[in-house]
Structures are given as structure tokens and as C-alpha cells.
């Protein structure tokens, strides 16, 4: 490969022989462009003029035992093409690509449900994806599967193959997360029809200045913010906003590269380490809202009508990535007036952006002020959760809206409930709690210790589970058990919280004490608890070492299995790093670790319910039938 690369680099110009040599050895247009100091577009243009294009082979899933007609294709720079002619123009869905932290099977769910709905409606569907572990790459899900990378080059070649064998109606880019979404504008520039939300609308939601105009027109507000392409820009914005600030790259998924910055020194470090900062992809700097309630909304919009699929209230504080937060549907502490404001704001944003299909919006409620955090004009990772909790298949509806069906028509056909204004679940409907699966015990630092379990703005979970019950407390308990973090019903708990949390921690700790739990704590927190009539045993901090009589530190107690649950709520720049040894010790032995007061309060409710009630388990199918029977349109 290195020899071929040198030969390509040494070529005087891009000739047919150079291109065929490069393609036979697996070089992409982008790689060839870098080696020849040409743009990817120039390389692709020359290649097309010379007629150097891949053909598509069919995977023989029958091992030559008998004729195989499975529509499962892969590309090759060979001679014979095996893509059959098709009678109808195809609808192409771009999948989510390789699973990674921040992008996983939640998006695959939307892709699969979309192709199911489109096939049922009579369309020929084509899936492009390259992950063998997902359902969308099962060859019987779509009419044809192309097992190809989600790059512009590979997607354009598949589209070309479909165009010459029957035609293409258009491409869905909004169902597979951020990976296909990034291709929207380049595909449109190549003359490919984009179904559903347009590339212009997608960019409008991502472009900070343009999105701010949408908010202004809707009378909505966002946390103070700005965009920066240098440290000087970022420093000026942070000085105006005030620390802490939330900094992140634009066009990212899963909060990758996102960080809460508490001072100028850390801001300088962040900018210095950031890559690919350009005027088109600046760093976004936002005021960080501490102690705010985060709210997630999944909705459908067809250009006229809005359908709110679900309003989810996060259990953890704002600032923790939504993919890592536990959330509850329907909301359990939001009043009708707040829900009304959320619905109104969702409609204004969906209309202002120009969405045609799914939109996910994240809000933060602080001091009764509703802030818009961000809007994603695509399927979100919460779509499967909302769909299973409510019995409404949002991804299927979004695909049909992208093909021109209206929300009114979907309601008339029974595919959407008559309601959809945020009150789709009545007060007596079951409560669903989504919890993240966090694999901290499986990840190790270079020194061999487990990574810190402290949650933040960058997503770290690798999956999610759901607990459903009539009431929140038992639903939350189920979600914790399903996430392999079952709550204790007796024993000892260790409590160490930041100064700002000492007042709010008193009542839940007292409830735990009243339930018979033994409370252990380090000096400062123990003093506060005792002053409030709560018996607390002081244990030694990590840095204090063993006591004169051999008393172990809190880490020693955790490692020995003497503590059944850890509550640790750090705050502030340096404080967020404190307590790592405590959290790592608990994580390494599977002891539940709670890092926010709001989650601890929910856990106390759940523990009390676990000691008072028993519950039954039923399948999602049984649950869906019960839900359908109780919510007649």
C-alpha cells in the first residue's frame, strides 16, 4: 500500500492508469486527492469522465447450494454488475454507520421502522449502512441493502447504481443520526433529492446565528452564547457571559468534545486542543445553566400541524448529556403552564426551522424561565423510548411525512393518536423511566484504574433500559435494576456532597436514616447532618490514611463491600475532579454511585417503594395492548 501511495504521489497528473491502480488497492477519492494535491471533487470528476466507477456484487447467502436472490450488495472495481433492474424508483435511507459511544442502535431503530412503513406504503426501499451488528443490515429489512461506508463518495456511487437500474425518488438523511446528516448539503449540491427536512433547514438549526433569528421571531430565548474561531474570540464571549461556560464543536453527536469550562486557563487549554476550528465549523460557547431542569421533546411537524410525541423530564441536572441522563415520561414535576410553554415553543421552532418530519428539542427550565438549549431536525436517540412508552411509532410517521403524508391523514388512518399536544399520556397512564447503561467498570485508564463515573456534557453511555409502572417511584426502581445498578433496601450509605448541596441533601438523607440505613460521611457533610438531627458516622478521607486504631478510609470500606450505596456530588472546576477514588472504588465492585441530588431524591422514593410494594412483570406487547385499550382516540 505504501508503494502504491508513493506511485500515486509521484504521478504528474491524474490519469486513468493512476486511478485504476488506486481503486484496485482501495484508495478513496479523498485519499487520492491528498496524494495528488487535488480536491476530492476534482478526483471524482476525472474518475467519472473516464468511466471508472464501481460495480455491485450480490452476497451469496445460500453458499452456491442453490440460486440466491438476496438483495445484499457490496461494491467492487470489477467488470460485471449484479444490481437487478427494479420497476419502481427507490427511496434510499442512510443508516447510522458504525456503533460508537454517542451513536448506536437507537438510530438504527428509526431507520428500520422507516423502511417498514415505506414498504408497507408501496415504496421500494434501499438501505445504505456498514454495521453488521444492526437490524438495518439484515438483508430482508429493505428491498435492497448496500453494505457500504457512509461517505459522500460511496453514497453517490450507490445512488448512481440505483438511478441506472430504475431511478431514485430521494434520500432520507434524518434517521441515522449525525453521520448521514452531515452529507445532506453535499448530496443536494450533487442534484440528489433530499426527502423530509431539507438541507437548508438542517443547517439553519446548526448555524448559531441563523437559529438565533428563529428564536427571536418566536419570542424564545437561549442561554447567552457566541461562536469562536480563536481563543481571543472565546475569551471575549466567556468574559461577557460569565463562567462557567459550556464549549463544544459544531455539528457533533453525543456531545463529543463538549466540556464545562470554569476559568480562563481551562478555556485556553480547550481551544488549544480543539481540532478543525474554521469559520464554517466554529466552537460554540454557551452560558452553563446550573441547577436547571432539562426537558427533552420529540415531535413531528408537516409544515402545518405539530404532533408532540413526548415531553421528557430529566432526572439529573442540566449539563449532563441527555444520552446519559435518566428521564421520565410523562413529566412528574412540570406544571400545565410549563408544558404549555414547551409545546408552544416546539411549534414555533419546528415551523421556523422548516422541519418536515421529526425534531428533537432540548429545553432548560431555570428560575421559571424556559431556555432553548438546542434543536435537532432529525430522529433522536429518545425516539425508541417515546414510541414504546406511548405506543405511537414516531419514526414510521416521520418517514410517511417525508413522502408527503400529513399529520391529519396519519391521525385519520390511526397511525397517530388524536391528541399530540403534550398531553398524549393521561394522568392515569403508566410512567416510563429511561435509564442509561454506563460501562465505567469496563473502561480503564492507562494506569489500570476504572474511568471516572462522574457524568458531564459528553455522552458516555453504551445503551439504555426502560422501567414502566403506574407510579414514578417503582418505575425508577425497575430502571435501576435493569441498568445493573439495583438500589439497596438496607445497609450503609456513604454521603459526601458539595457545599451547594448540603441544604438540599438533608431531607433525603433523613428519609434514608428513618428507613433504617446507617449513614456514613466525611467531616464537613457529617457535621451538617448531625446539626440537623441525623445520626452520621464520620469516616476517614482518602488522603488521611488509616486511623490510629487501624480504621480504614472510605475507599477501604467501599472496597471491602461495607458500603451499599455512594452519594457524591462534586461541583466547580477542581471539585468535579475530587472524589474520583471514591467513585472509582464503588464502580469497580458494582456499588451504586449517585452524583446528583435530584437522582438521589428519586432513588430514596424508589427504595421506599421497593420496601412497601411488590410488582409484576409483563412483556412490552402486553403493555402496548393495555395502553391501546386505555387510550381510545
- pLDDT at 423 (0 to 100): 45
Burial of residue 190 (CB within 10 Å: 0-12, 13-18, 19+) is middle
Cross-strand partners of 375: 361
Least confident interval from 1-15, 33-47, 344-358, 613-627: 613-627
Q: What is the mean pLDDT of the chain?
A: 86
Average pLDDT over residues 47-72: 81
Strand, helix or coil for residue 227 = strand
- Say yes or no to pLDDT of 229 above 90: no
Mean per-residue pLDDT for 423-448? 68
Distance CA 168, CA 242 (A): 51
Predicted local confidence at residue 420, as pLDDT: 55
Q: What element of type H or E holds 226? A: strand 225-228
- Do the Cβ atoms of 609 and 473 come closer than 8 Å? yes
**pLDDT band (50, 70, 90) for residue 249:** confident
d(CA 118, CA 111): 11
| pLDDT confidence of residue 576 | 42
pLDDT for 61 equals 67
Q: Are 127 and 146 in contact (CB under 8 A)?
A: yes
pLDDT of res. 443: 61
Q: What is the structure's pLDDT at 68?
A: 63
At residue 339, does pLDDT exceed 90? yes
- Smallest Cα–Cα separation from 258: which of 266, 268, 250, 248? 248
Given a cut of 60, whether residue 7 has pLDDT beyond it is yes
Strands 293-301 and 283-287: unpaired
Confidence (pLDDT) at 441: 59
Q: Is the pLDDT of residue 13 over 90?
A: no
**What is the arithmetic mean of pLDDT over 299-318?**
91
Residue 542 in this model has a pLDDT that exceeds 50: yes
DSSP string of 463-521? EEEEEEESSHHHHHHHHHHHTT-PPPSSSEEEEEE-GGGHHHHHHHHHHHHHTTPEEEE
Inform me whether the pLDDT recorded for 417 exceeds 90.
no
3-state secondary structure 546-602: CCCCCCCEHHHHHHCCCCCEEEEECCCCCHHHCCHHHHHHHHHHCCCEECCHHHHHH
At residue 330, the 3 state secondary structure works out as: coil
| pLDDT bracket for residue 452 (50, 70, 90) | low
Does residue 424 carry a pLDDT above 70? no
> 558-592 pLDDT, tens per residue?
989 999 999 988 755 444 444 777 888 888 888 88
Provide the pLDDT confidence category of residue 59 given band limits of 50, 70 and 90: confident
Please report the pLDDT score of residue 476 as a whole number.
93
Residue 631 has pLDDT above 50, yes or no: no
Q: What is the dihedral of CA 571, 269, 223, 379, to 10 degrees?
A: -100
Cα-based distances in Å from 298 to 102, 307, 462: 18, 9, 21
Amino acid at each position: 500500500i505504501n508503494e502504491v501511495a508513493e506511485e500515486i504521489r509521484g504521478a504528474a497528473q491524474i490519469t486513468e492508469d493512476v486511478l485504476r491502480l488506486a481503486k484496485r488497492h482501495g484508495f478513496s477519492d479523498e485519499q487520492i486527492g491528498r496524494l495528488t494535491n487535488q480536491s476530492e471533487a476534482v478526483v471524482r470528476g476525472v474518475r467519472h469522465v473516464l468511466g471508472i466507477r464501481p460495480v455491485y456484487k450480490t452476497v451469496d447467502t445460500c453458499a452456491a447450494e442453490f440460486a440466491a436472490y438476496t438483495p445484499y450488495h457490496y461494491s467492487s472495481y470489477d467488470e460485471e454488475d449484479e444490481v437487478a433492474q427494479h420497476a419502481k424508483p427507490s427511496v434510499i435511507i442512510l443508516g447510522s454507520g458504525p456503533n460508537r459511544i454517542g451513536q448506536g442502535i437507537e438510530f438504527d431503530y428509526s431507520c428500520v421502522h422507516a423502511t417498514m412503513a415505506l414498504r408497507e406504503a408501496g415504496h421500494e426501499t434501499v438501505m445504505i449502512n456498514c454495521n453488521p451488528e444492526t437490524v438495518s443490515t439484515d438483508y430482508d429489512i429493505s428491498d435492497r441493502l448496500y453494505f457500504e461506508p457512509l461517505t459522500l463518495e460511496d453514497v453517490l456511487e450507490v445512488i448512481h447504481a440505483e438511478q441506472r437500474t430504475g431511478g431514485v425518488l430521494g434520500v432520507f438523511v434524518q434517521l441515522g443520526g449525525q453521520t448521514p446528516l452531515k452529507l445532506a448539503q453535499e448530496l443536494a449540491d450533487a442534484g440528489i433529492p433530499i426527502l423530509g427536512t431539507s438541507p437548508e433547514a438542517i443547517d439553519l438549526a446548526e448555524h448559531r446565528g441563523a437559529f438565533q433569528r428563529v428564536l427571536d421571531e418566536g419570542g424564545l430565548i437561549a442561554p447567552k452564547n457566541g461562536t469562536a474561531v480563536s481563543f481571543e474570540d472565546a475569551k471575549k464571549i466567556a468574559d461577557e457571559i460569565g463562567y462557567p461556560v459550556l464549549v463544544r464543536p459544531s455539528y457533533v453527536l453525543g456531545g463529543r468534545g463538549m466540556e464545562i469550562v470554569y476559568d480562563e486557563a481551562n478555556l485556553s487549554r480547550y481551544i488549544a486542543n480543539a481540532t478543525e476550528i474554521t469559520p464554517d465549523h466554529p466552537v460554540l460557547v454557551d452560558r452553563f445553566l446550573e441547577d436547571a431542569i432539562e426537558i427533552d421533546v420529540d415531535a413531528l411537524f408537516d409544515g402545518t400541524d405539530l404532533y408532540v410525541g413526548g415531553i421528557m423530564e430529566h432526572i439529573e441536572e442540566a449539563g449532563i448529556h441527555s444520552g446519559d441522563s435518566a428521564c421520565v415520561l410523562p413529566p412528574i414535576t412540570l406544571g400545565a403552564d410549563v408544558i404549555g410553554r414547551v409545546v408552544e415553543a416546539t411549534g414555533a421552532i419546528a415551523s421556523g426551522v422548516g422541519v418536515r418530519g421529526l425534531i428533537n428539542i432540548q429545553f432548560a427550565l431555570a428560575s421559571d424561565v424556559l431556555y432553548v438549549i438546542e434543536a435537532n431536525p432529525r430522529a433522536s436517540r429518545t425516539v425508541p423510548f417515546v414510541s414504546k412508552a406511548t405506543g405511537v411509532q414516531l419514526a414510521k410517521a416521520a418517514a410517511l411525512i417525508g413522502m408527503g403524508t400529513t399529520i391529519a391523514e396519519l391521525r385519520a388512518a390511526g397511525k397517530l393518536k388524536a391528541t399530540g399536544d403534550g398531553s398524549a399520556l393521561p394522568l392515569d397512564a403508566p410512567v416510563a423511566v429511561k435509564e442509561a447503561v454506563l460501562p465505567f467498570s469496563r473502561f480503564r485508564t492507562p494506569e489500570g484504574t476504572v474511568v471516572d463515573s462522574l457524568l458531564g456534557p459528553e455522552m458516555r453511555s453504551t445503551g439504555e433500559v426502560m422501567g414502566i409502572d403506574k407510579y414514578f417511584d417503582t418505575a425508577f426502581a425497575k430502571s435501576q435494576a435493569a441498568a445493573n445498578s439495583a438500589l439497596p433496601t438496607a445497609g450503609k450509605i456513604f454521603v459526601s456532597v458539595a457545599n451547594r448541596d448540603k441544604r438540599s441533601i438533608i431531607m433525603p438523607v433523613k428519609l434514608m436514616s428513618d428507613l433504617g440505613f446507617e449513614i456514613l460521611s466525611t467531616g464537613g457533610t457529617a457535621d451538617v447532618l448531625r446539626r440537623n438531627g441525623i445520626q452520621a458516622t464520620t469516616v476517614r478521607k482518602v488522603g488521611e490514611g488509616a486511623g490510629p486504631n487501624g480504621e480504614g478510609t472510605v475507599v477501604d470500606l467501599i472496597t471491602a463491600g461495607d458500603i451499599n450505596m455512594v452519594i457524591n456530588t462534586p461541583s466547580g472546576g477542581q471539585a468535579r475532579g475530587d472524589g474520583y477514588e471514591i467513585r472509582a472504588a464503588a464502580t469497580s465492585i458494582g456499588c451504586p454511585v449517585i452524583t446528583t441530588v435530584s437522582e438521589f431524591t428519586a432513588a430514596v422514593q424508589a427504595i421506599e417503594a421497593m420496601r412497601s410494594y411488590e410488582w409484576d412483570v409483563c412483556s412490552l406487547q402486553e403493555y402496548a395492548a393495555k395502553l391501546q385499550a386505555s387510550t381510545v382516540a
